[in-house]
Amino acid sequence: MSLWRGLFQHHRREATPAARQTFARFEIAHTIVDFLAALFFIIGSIMFFSEAWQTPATWFFTVGSFLFAAKPTLKLWREVKLYRLGKTQKLADRVD
C-alpha cells in the first residue's frame, strides 16, 4: 500500500500502545496550537482598535496565521508517524 493510500486510517490510532501515545501527544500539540492561534488573532483584533498598535497587531495576525497553518501540518505529520509505526509493528511481527 502506498503512503498516501495508507494515511488517515482510524484504526492506526489504536493499533498499539505506541500509536495511542503518539496520537495523544499530537492531539495535545494540535489543541495548544489551535488555542494559541485563536489567542493571537483575538489580541491582534483588539490591538487594531488603536492606530498606534497597528504594526504589532499585524504581527499578531501573521503569527496567528502561521499557527493556523501548523494545524494541518501537525495532522499530516501525525498520520505519517502512525503509518510508519504500523509498518514497524508488521516488521516486528514477522521476526516473531
Average pLDDT by stretches of 10, the chain with 96 residues = 60 77 90 95 95 95 95 89 74 53
Maximum CA pair distance of the chain?
68
Cβ–Cβ < 8 Å for 47, 53: yes
Cβ–Cβ < 8 Å for 65, 40: no
The three cell numbers of residue 49 are 482598535
